């Protein structure tokens, strides 16, 4: 499928217009969207916007100029309905846009639509959307992954060249792995979270879904960097990521931690990781042994910390300021019925879990211990990154599962993120790159690098993409 960079060069050479790209996107959508359901909202005025961009195209327009993209529906878009796939925000139209969206707009990028997700980004299959599931374009009987499922579908089905998603515990990398595209989760603080509807603020990060690694570098460069609206966005200058990739990956050191290829990981996926490791070595990368013994506890810590933060972040949705209000006999009853009717089952489960682990008597047993574990994981990663530049692992323990297979089994659903969650807890950057498919289904290979080392991550990822082909 065509890359973003190829589309940009067609535009540059006047072989295409923004208008023709939008038409092509709409006809691809027309052909398959009824089966796949990747969008919650399509922007009807995208055609006019494209014509305007074509008219105003400046000399030396950047690589995103005039090219349509899709954004997960938990990113605020001024004047465009933003639902987080929840009934409680079903008709919400934000008065401003997320910084990442603003930056893309400023570079001439064209928003085509808002993509489906698990409600408030809580889930791994997009089945927890209040507006119905998305389906995997490779095999529509299977889930596309989640929570950025709609964004992964849009990119993998050929609707848009790239899409924005968000991550709290794997929600960009995991759907990328299931749908066969590239999913990048930047380091915590690399991209402003301003205008991203908060799930767990110490973990949330906006990420990209693209058709190759270089496109991920292009989109990351466009959205990264300090933003006065997000005090956790870092000051560091944004490196030249494409330039970094052009240095090649020879001499980089990598490790394949045993903890990520043991029990629970499908043998075909483990074999693909080991094959990739051999190929990287043959390309001149150096393999080192690394141990990450606390890995098995990451999932437990995440399912304490993320719900704890969610229970606080979601307190604002009470029927008073946003969304539909269910009237009750008094204020408390109105809150209760608005939340009771507005939130879906998984969101309620998270709020209850989070409230429980933060309550007096349980705080020390759960929340505090989870935070200690998070600190240990960070230390363990930073020790590992003294010996290696990147870690190579599977992105997910299995390939895409069937629709319905895990939706009533929260623990099985949570397991889908066991290998992606550690990077979120430690604030690392990480990427999923397609490996060789297994029984016709995409397999994701994950690379992780130290915080703020997207340059190294992308160099290794471009090499990986090249060798596994
Ligand atoms: N699947 C994980 C969860 O449900 C991660 C979600 C995410 O990254 N937004 O919490």
**Three-class SS of 256-314:** CCHHHCCCCCCHHHHHHHHHHHHHHHHCCCEEECCCCCCHHHHHHHHHHHHHHHHHHHH
pLDDT at 18 (0 to 100): 98
pLDDT at 44 (0 to 100): 81
Question: Which residues form the domain of 35?
Answer: 4-245
Percentage of the chain with pLDDT > 70?
Answer: 100
Q: Which atom number of ligand 1 is nearest to the Cα of residue 346? A: 4
For residue 167 and ligand 1, the question of a CB distance below 6 A is answered with yes
* Plot region of 191 (φ>0 → left; ψ -120 to 50 → alpha; else → beta): beta
Tokens 């809580």: give the residue: 122
pLDDT at 323 (0 to 100): 83
The kind and range of the H/E element at 88 are none
The yes-or-no verdict on residue 256 having pLDDT over 90 is yes
What is the DSSP-derived secondary structure letter of residue 113? Answer: E
How many C-beta atoms lie closer than 10 Å to residue 423's C-beta?
A: 31
Domain for residue 375, yes or no? no
Instruction: Give the pLDDT band (50/70/90) at residue 288.
Output: very high
Q: Which atom number of ligand 1 is nearest to the Cα of residue 148? A: 9
Domain for residue 337, yes or no? no
Domain for residue 39, yes or no? yes
Per residue in 123-137, pLDDT tens? 999 999 999 999 999
Q: 361 CA to middle of ligand 1, Å?
A: 27
Domain for residue 447, yes or no? no
Q: 121 CA to middle of ligand 1, Å?
A: 6
Q: Which residues are part of the catalytic machinery?
A: 72, 147, 171
The yes-or-no verdict on residue 430 having pLDDT over 90 is yes
CA atoms of 28 and 30, how far apart (whole Å): 5
Per residue in 125-180, pLDDT tens? 999 999 999 999 999 999 999 999 999 999 999 999 999 999 999 999 999 999 99
For residue 417 and ligand 1, the question of a CB distance below 6 A is answered with yes
Q: How many domains does the chain have?
A: 1
| Pocket mutation for ligand 1, best pick of 85, 116, 118, 196 (most atoms within 8 Å of C-beta) | 118
Cβ neighbors of 17 (< 8 A, separation 6 or more) are 11, 50, 54, 66
For residue 170 and ligand 1, the question of a CB distance below 6 A is answered with yes
For residue 148 and ligand 1, the question of a CB distance below 6 A is answered with no
Tokens 């899409």: give the residue: 163
| Pocket mutation for ligand 1, best pick of 122, 166, 174 (most atoms within 8 Å of C-beta) | 122
Percentage of the chain with pLDDT > 90?
Answer: 98
pLDDT at 190 (0 to 100): 98
Encode 159-182: b = buried (16+ Cβ within 10 Å), e = exposed.
bbbbbbbbbbbbbbbbbbbbbbbb
The yes-or-no verdict on residue 322 having pLDDT over 90 is no
What is the DSSP-derived secondary structure letter of residue 187? Answer: P
pLDDT at 349 (0 to 100): 97
For residue 346 and ligand 1, the question of a CB distance below 6 A is answered with no
Domain for residue 138, yes or no? yes
Tokens 């682990």: give the residue: 357
| CATH number of the domain within which 8 lies | 3.90.1300.10
For residue 169 and ligand 1, the question of a CB distance below 6 A is answered with yes
Cβ neighbors of 322 (< 8 A, separation 6 or more) are 88, 89, 92, 316
Domain for residue 359, yes or no? no
| Pocket mutation for ligand 1, best pick of 116, 146, 432 (most atoms within 8 Å of C-beta) | 146
Domain for residue 399, yes or no? no
pLDDT at 238 (0 to 100): 96
Q: 160 CA to middle of ligand 1, Å?
A: 23
SS3 367: helix
Q: 105 CA to middle of ligand 1, Å?
A: 27
Domain for residue 418, yes or no? no
The yes-or-no verdict on residue 388 having pLDDT over 90 is yes
Q: Which atom number of ligand 1 is nearest to the Cα of residue 203? A: 8
């Amino acid at each position: 499928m065509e890359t973003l960079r190829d589309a940009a060069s067609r535009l540059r050479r006047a072989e295409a217009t923004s208008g023709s790209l939008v038409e092509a996107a709409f006809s691809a959508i027309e052909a398959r969207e009824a089966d796949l359901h990747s969008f919650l909202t399509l922007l009807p005025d995208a055609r006019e916007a494209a014509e305007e961009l074509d008219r105003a195209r400046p000399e030396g327009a950047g690589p995103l100029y005039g090219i349509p993209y899709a954004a997960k529906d938990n990113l605020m878009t001024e004047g465009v309905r933003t639902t987080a796939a929840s009934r409680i925000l079903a008709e919400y139209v934000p008065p401003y846009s997320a910084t990442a969206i603003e930056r893309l707009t400023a570079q001439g990028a064209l928003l085509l639509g808002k993509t489906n997700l698990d409600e408030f980004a809580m889930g791994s299959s997009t089945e927890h959307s209040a507006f119905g599931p998305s389906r995997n374009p490779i095999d529509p009987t299977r889930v596309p992954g989640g929570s950025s499922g709609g964004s992964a579908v849009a990119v993998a089905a050929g609707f848009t060249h790239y899409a924005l998603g968000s991550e709290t515990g794997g929600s960009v990398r995991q759907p990328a792995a299931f749908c066969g595209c590239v999913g990048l989760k930047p380091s915590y603080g690399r991209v402003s979270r301003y205008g991203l509807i908060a799930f767990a603020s110490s973990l949330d990060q906006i990420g990209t879904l693209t058709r190759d690694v270089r496109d991920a570098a292009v989109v990351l460069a466009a959205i990264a960097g300090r933003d006065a609206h997000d005090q956790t966005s870092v000051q560091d200058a944004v490196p030249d990521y494409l330039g970094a990739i052009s240095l090649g990956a020879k001499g980089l050191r990598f490790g394949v931690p045993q903890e990520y290829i043991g029990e629970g990981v499908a043998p075909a996926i483990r074999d693909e990781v080991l094959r990739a490791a051999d190929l990287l070595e043959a390309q001149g990368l150096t393999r080192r042994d690394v141990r990450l013994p606390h890995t098995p506890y990451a999932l437990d810590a995440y399912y304490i910390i993320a719900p704890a933060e969610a229970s606080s972040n979601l307190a604002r949705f009470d029927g008073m300021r946003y969304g539909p209000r269910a009237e009750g006999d008094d204020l408390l009853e109105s809150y209760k019925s608005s939340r009771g009717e507005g939130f879906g089952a998984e969101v309620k489960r998270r709020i209850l879990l989070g409230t429980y682990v933060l309550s007096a008597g349980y705080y020390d047993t759960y929340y505090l211990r989870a935070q200690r574990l998070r600190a240990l994981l960070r230390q363990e990663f930073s020790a590992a990154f003294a010996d290696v530049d990147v870690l190579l692992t599977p992105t997910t323990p299995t390939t895409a599962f069937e629709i319905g297979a895990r939706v009533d089994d929260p623990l099985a659903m949570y397991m889908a993120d066991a290998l992606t969650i550690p990077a979120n807890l430690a604030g690392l950057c990480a990427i999923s790159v397609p490996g060789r498919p297994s029984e016709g289904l995409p397999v994701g290979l994950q690379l992780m690098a130290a915080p703020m080392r997207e340059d190294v991550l992308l160099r290794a990822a471009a090499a990986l993409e090249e060798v596994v082909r």
